[in-house]
Structure 1
Amino acid sequence: MDEKSEFLGKDNIKKLLFKLSAPIVIGMLVQAIYNVVDTFFVGMAYGTDDVQAIGGLSIAFPIQMMVVAFGIVLGTGGSSIISRALGARENEKAEKVLGNVFSLSLILSVLIAIPCLYYLDPILKIFGATAGVMPYAREYLKYIILGGTVFVFGVATQNIVRSEGNARLAMNAMLVGGGLNIFLDPLFMLGFGMGVKGAAIATVISQTIASIWLLLYYLKGKGAVHFRPKTLKPDMKIVKEIWAIGIGSFVMQCSNSVMMIFVFNALATYGGDSAIAVFGVIIKVNSFIFMSLLGMGFGLQPIVGFNYGAKKYERIVEAVKLSLAATTTIGILGLLSILLLKEQILGLFSADPQYLEIGKKAITIMLLGMPLVGMNVITSILFQALGKAKPAFLLSISRQLLFLIPLVTILPRYYQLNGVWAAYPISDFLAFLLSGFLLFRIYKIFKEQKKSSKTAAGSEIADKMSNI
């Protein structure tokens, strides 16, 4: 079983990082495309009401991401354990983790669907839904929540597949799901006249097909980790370990959604429906940059996990350096591209004059910190892959909870709508400083390892890292 992952400890790091990251980045970009396509066709479907309809999808998005967050916690926690288990040749443990991820996907999706559906309107009001956007947000989310199982399972399993070094399969699943969604969106929304309801149903169907593909991969025994039905029974020790490691990514995703409660309420106060629509468009356009950064991080994760289990620490250092260089470059190029084309990008979704006026200023201010975000993404995933829950957790909440929420609460009182936009680059800068500090500490530990004997280095590093 583990022979399929041996290349993680042997291949050239530069080629390996490209081999693992490129398919993930491509898949992530396709996912970003169909998120944008939803909004594009909503604008086409609703004509003069496009700002309210786009605002409805904007309000629904963070709630949808909270559902997905449960798949992220299972995927990041499970993949970290599995990659390290493969590196240490603990095959039975890897199988138990896989089975537990599968069963927990179903359990969690059911547990979150019931209260979300029952309290949907109050939840939307908490997120700042105005009377104009409420009907659209409600109609879209009903179907997304009902299809929650395929979202949780799909996201979790994609991460597991990557942990064994099969990034191409994860990419193909995302391409199938994304491509199908892009085809079904106009069919349901415009052809069948279903509006935002059609967008939601198209998304659920697409994710279902992608999830079935990933499930069949394991049922047919093609993975480096074999699926055995007896491993579906939850093992509390494994569940706790998955949660401890994955909690950082879970909180990062949920804190992003919680943060949007403050943002949307500030936008409703200082800008109204047009500002909410602008924010939703910018977030989805910005996802092209952020998904690329995340793809690089996911490509790094199995390399770090496997080589940490195999005690090949110098390979981890090299991989992290290359990942940081790549994410910084992506951030700079992505920012410049969006700023140069901001008027054309905004015009794709609506021609409303107020929306366009607000959007041009917002997109310029909000995205200034994107070249710095790669540091936070890579460092957070590094600690997750090493199984270091506390620093991973701290980094995961830093941008949204520690920095952005206070800033988006305070700055608009003095600078109104501009204060909302300015909170983003300032929080990116503060998270960059925190990430750099923690990364430097762990770099020093790995560097000191070179001066020690290989046999002593493993225990010494474990002791030193426990203090971070």
Structure 2
Amino acid sequence: MNETVTIKNKENPLGYEPIGKLMVKFSIPSIIAMVVNALYNIVDQIFIGRGVGFLGNGATNVILPLTMLVIALGLLVGDGCAAYLSLHLGKGEKEKAAKGVGNAITLAIILGIVLAVFSIVLLEPLCRLFGATENILPYALDYGRIIIIGIPFSVINCALSGIIRADGSPRYSMMGMIMGCVVNIILNPLFIFGLHWGVTGSALATIIGQILNSGYYLLYLKRFKSINVKKAYFRLKSGIVTKVCSLGISSFITQIAVVAMIAISNNVMVKYGAMSVYGADIPITTMGITMKVNQLIMAIVLGIATGAQPILGYNYGAGNMARTKKTLKIMVVASTVCMAVAFIAFQGFPNAILSIFGTKSELYTEFAVKCLRIFLLFCILNGFQMCTGIFFQAIGKPVQATLVSVSRQIVFIIPATLILPIFLGVDGALWAGPVADGLAFILSATLLTSQWKKIFHQESAPKAMAESILQNS
């Protein structure tokens, strides 16, 4: 048994190269890719804020839940397939791994088209559901109509990014993201300031970048290192689709929860903001900026975690528990250090961060600084929670991964966002952030501690363990 595992490990560097070296190899490109992906929305917000004004920025915040829904579908397929690919490669089952990739790509295309059709038909009701005020609604409709065109390409990008990394090509994944983002950064000022197309021009710049990105990723189908993807593998099989989706469900639920959280937060900000000196438009706009700044920082942590995912999945599937534990430790430490730096920046230099998005009135600046400092007060705890969720996902435990993922975004922050403003007004929605972060950290730590012995007690039976993971996923 151990001899078989050793032979398999020697076939793939994930099984024998130093963990630190692998983490650098996989996580750095993954971090860049995730940050670049987060920059898509932030770049729009920066140029719109300076070229259109804060109502235009409010429009991007209204459309943000829709873009997060796109990411949710991409991660459902991409993260699920990445885990499926790594686990089967760890067992030496290359054909099963290849079938999973083919099914995942087909599924991503179908989901992207369905969501685009749904969104264009119901755009105005969705904008109102996501908190658009009468002042912001026209901008949101103009921006959203163009963004919807890019939805199928965005789903494909998000899905293939994780799959390509799991195949051992994190740099290729990174380059695709960089290509799209650079195009977006170049075209945004041209379309907004040069051609005066406003929010429509910003949205157009975004989807052009997404289209180029997806084309580059699809070229990788002929360049897979570990598998050979045949045409027949693109035909959907219910068993494969179910397993892929079960492994990606925690990422999907996490993002769906973000959609719900943003929609509820936007509406709360509008309702209680209208009762305050700040009005309805300032709170919804500044909360959107705060969430996007946080999204950028969390993209770094997510890059560290997703870069570690194939290392965790492969070694756990191959039964190498020592390497699995070491990968988890490095992932958690690196993520916590990153969030500690972010905490210092948010608390010490909020004005410098907010000035990137343009300067507005004194009331706007006052609430924006308050929003950044209070909502992200316990952000230092978020790295551990995210790493715990990715760890459970990578080793084929979707139930535990889902529990960790939904704790902050559904179980804690939504009730806090609805309850605290009753007593604290619009400021209560800001305090919902640290309350949720603290409780989610406690839950994640408790769950990981309670599951630790159960996860690693089968060290002497790696093959049986890997089979159990795949059967129960």
TM-score normalised to structure 2 length: 0.93
Q: Structure 1: how far apart are the matches of 2:414 and 2:162?
A: 29
Between 1:289-298 and 1:341-350, the stretch displaced more is: 341-350
Instruction: Return the letter of the residue paired with 1:233.
Output: R
Give the secondary-structure state (helix, strand or coil) at the position aligned to 1:368: coil
- The residue aligned with 2:343 is 335
Q: Deviations over 1:253-272 (max 9, x none)?
A: 01101111210111001221
- The residue aligned with 1:74 is 77
User: Cα offset for 1:3?
Assistant: 9.2
- The residue aligned with 2:276 is none
Q: Say if 2:317 and 2:465, in contact at 8 Å, map to a contact too.
A: no
- The residue aligned with 1:375 is 384
User: Cα offset for 1:457?
Assistant: 5.5
- The residue aligned with 1:237 is 239
Q: Say if 1:314 and 1:446, in contact at 8 Å, map to a contact too.
A: no
- The residue aligned with 2:217 is 214
Alignment counterpart, residue 357 of structure 1, candidates 352, 355, 366: 366
Q: Say if 1:27 and 1:172, in contact at 8 Å, map to a contact too.
A: yes
Q: Say if 2:10 and 2:16, in contact at 8 Å, map to a contact too.
A: no
Q: Say if 2:87 and 2:466, in contact at 8 Å, map to a contact too.
A: no
**CA 1:152–1:352 in structure 2 vs 1: closer, same or farther (change >3 Å)?**
same
Q: Structure 2: how far apart are the matches of 1:145 and 1:215?
A: 20
Q: Deviations over 1:11-39 (max 9, x none)?
A: 11122112210111122223333432211
Q: Say if 2:94 and 2:226, in contact at 8 Å, map to a contact too.
A: no
Q: Structure 2: how far apart are the matches of 1:340 and 1:212?
A: 42
User: Cα offset for 1:309?
Assistant: 1.5
User: Cα offset for 1:296?
Assistant: 0.7
Q: Structure 2: how far apart are the matches of 1:69 and 1:82?
A: 19
Q: Which runs of 4+ in 1 moved over 4 A?
A: 2-5, 460-468
Q: Structure 2: how far apart are the matches of 1:74 and 1:457?
A: 27
- The residue aligned with 2:424 is 415
User: Cα offset for 1:85?
Assistant: 1.0
1:245-394 superposed matches below 5 A: 245-271=247-273, 272-349=280-357, 350-394=359-403
Alignment counterpart, residue 98 of structure 1, candidates 92, 101, 104: 101
Q: Say if 1:74 and 1:243, in contact at 8 Å, map to a contact too.
A: yes
Structure 2 gaps of 5+ residues are: 1-7, 274-279
Structure 1 gaps of 5+ residues are: none
Q: Structure 1: how far apart are the matches of 2:12 and 2:469?
A: 27
1:187 matched to 2:190? The reply is yes
Give the secondary-structure state (helix, strand or coil) at the position aligned to 1:348: helix
User: Cα offset for 1:70?
Assistant: 0.9
Instruction: Return the letter of the residue paired with 1:323.
Output: M
Q: Say if 2:318 and 2:466, in contact at 8 Å, map to a contact too.
A: no
Q: Structure 2: how far apart are the matches of 1:194 and 1:77?
A: 39
**CA 1:463–1:83 in structure 2 vs 1: closer, same or farther (change >3 Å)?**
closer
Alignment counterpart, residue 64 of structure 2, candidates 50, 61, 64: 61
Aligned residues: 459
Q: Deviations over 1:316-345 (max 9, x none)?
A: 111101111111100010111232221122
**CA 1:227–1:266 in structure 2 vs 1: closer, same or farther (change >3 Å)?**
same
Q: Structure 2: how far apart are the matches of 1:65 and 1:446?
A: 32
Q: Structure 2: how far apart are the matches of 1:125 and 1:239?
A: 34
1:13 matched to 2:30? The reply is no
Q: Deviations over 1:216-261 (max 9, x none)?
A: 121x334322221111110100011111111111111011011112
Give the alignment's Cα RMSD to 1 decimal. 2.1
Q: Say if 1:5 and 1:164, in contact at 8 Å, map to a contact too.
A: no
Q: Say if 1:449 and 1:461, in contact at 8 Å, map to a contact too.
A: no
**CA 1:66–1:379 in structure 2 vs 1: closer, same or farther (change >3 Å)?**
same
Q: Deviations over 1:385-428 (max 9, x none)?
A: 11111111111211111110000000000011111011011101
Q: Structure 2: how far apart are the matches of 1:98 and 1:16?
A: 23
Q: Deviations over 1:169-220 (max 9, x none)?
A: 11111111111111111111221111111111111110111111111121x3
Q: Say if 1:445 and 1:465, in contact at 8 Å, map to a contact too.
A: no
Q: Say if 2:62 and 2:140, in contact at 8 Å, map to a contact too.
A: yes
Give the secondary-structure state (helix, strand or coil) at the position aligned to 1:351: coil
Instruction: Return the letter of the residue paired with 1:215.
Output: L
Q: Say if 1:59 and 1:128, in contact at 8 Å, map to a contact too.
A: yes
Q: Structure 2: how far apart are the matches of 1:458 and 1:88?
A: 8
Q: Say if 2:78 and 2:162, in contact at 8 Å, map to a contact too.
A: yes
Q: Say if 1:307 and 1:316, in contact at 8 Å, map to a contact too.
A: yes
Q: Say if 1:62 and 1:260, in contact at 8 Å, map to a contact too.
A: yes
1:87 matched to 2:90? The reply is yes
Q: Structure 1: how far apart are the matches of 2:321 and 2:89?
A: 16
Instruction: Return the letter of the residue paired with 2:412.
Output: F
Between 1:27-36 and 1:50-59, the stretch displaced more is: 27-36
Q: Structure 2: how far apart are the matches of 1:122 and 1:32?
A: 26
- The residue aligned with 1:137 is 140
Instruction: Return the letter of the residue paired with 2:218.
Output: L
User: Cα offset for 1:467?
Assistant: 11
Q: Structure 1: how far apart are the matches of 2:226 and 2:469?
A: 32
TM-score normalised to structure 1 length: 0.94
Q: Structure 2: how far apart are the matches of 1:371 and 1:4?
A: 38
Instruction: Return the letter of the residue paired with 2:215.
Output: I
Q: Structure 2: how far apart are the matches of 1:222 and 1:400?
A: 35
User: Cα offset for 1:351?
Assistant: 2.1
Q: Say if 2:395 and 2:469, in contact at 8 Å, map to a contact too.
A: no
Identity %: 35
Q: Deviations over 1:36-55 (max 9, x none)?
A: 22111101222xxx121111
Q: Deviations over 1:337-373 (max 9, x none)?
A: 2322211222232322221010111111111111111
User: Cα offset for 1:432?
Assistant: 0.7
Give the secondary-structure state (helix, strand or coil) at the position aligned to 2:376: helix
- The residue aligned with 1:39 is 45
**CA 1:307–1:383 in structure 2 vs 1: closer, same or farther (change >3 Å)?**
same
**CA 1:462–1:404 in structure 2 vs 1: closer, same or farther (change >3 Å)?**
farther
